[in-house]
A = this chain, B = another copy of it.
């Protein structure tokens, strides 16, 4: 029923749109955003990009992204705004602040926020956007820097079906999969749910593989058994925590360039907030969050999330 009224608002908002979206204002040209903006350019969109780091802006310029000097400059008059920013506060400021996206984008614009944030952030932005005659979806991504580079990201989208469909050409330019997860906020909820499961499976697989190997199993045999049994998962099939078994897994390159512990910690902490809001018990999720927080506080925030395997197997010999 909530989605029905949402639909009404958005139908009104849609009126302002004028056929096919061509011009894009892009906010946040970091590790992810830089590649995403470049991929939009490659697929024929006109992109104007802004980032507080002028180095990031210049790097993007080499890929054909026009330089903007401010949020307002980037979003002024464009058909679509895409943002991927690092925190709740920065997203709220960029959208709702003075000279921000809502104030400065044109009527009828489609606003797509691909940041990973608390689901309450899109729930705050969405009604303001609608009230100002604009469309808004929360569209966080999974797939990491590699997915951004290769345009294989998955987009989890919260918002009206119509806005989801309007965004499809852009999602397809930047990624390989698109899910309409439900109304506003549901993109974030889907992502946080998925990533909390991932964190739990990552720690659980690490501790159990460590146990089995310590007890005498050959790592290759163990992985083979797991991948043909009930213990298999994306982690065992693609991102095995034990180095050397899967050549493309981060563990096989000293846990570098993976899904960083500092990022999964952030996602798990957002997930804990989500669970708190709906009063849902998450015994393993809460403990996993603490384990990653410890790993981060010990200085391993830049390592892949499967580095827990190394931390659990460390022993006296190594230390002394």
Contacts and interface: CB of A to CB of B under 8 A. Distances in A.
A218 B281 contact: no
A189 interface: yes
A301 B283 CA distance: 18
B204 A197 contact: yes
B194 A281 contact: no
B274 A272 contact: no
Contacts of A218: 181-182
A13 to B, nearest CB: 22
A274 to B, nearest CB: 6
Interface in A295-320: 296-299, 301, 312-316, 318-320
Identical copies in the complex: 4
Nearest to A226: B194
A236 to B, nearest CB: 8
A293 B285 CA distance: 13
Interface stretch (A4-12, A48-56, A209-217): A209-217
A208 B200 contact: yes
Interface size class of A (residues with CB under 8 A): 35 or more
Contact of A232 (B181, B216, B231, B233): B233
Interface string A185-202: 110011011111110110
B297 A229 contact: no
A251 interface: no
A298 B314 contact: yes
16 contacts: A179-B228, A189-B212, A190-B212, A190-B225, A194-B229, A196-B208, A197-B231, A197-B233, A200-B200, A201-B201, A208-B285, A211-B282, A215-B277, A215-B280, A230-B238, A282-B290
Interface of A: 119, 142, 154, 156, 177, 179-183, 185-186, 189-190, 192-198, 200-201, 203-205, 207-212, 214-218, 221-222, 224-226, 228-235, 238-239, 259, 269, 271-272, 274-291, 293-294, 296-299, 301, 312-316, 318-320
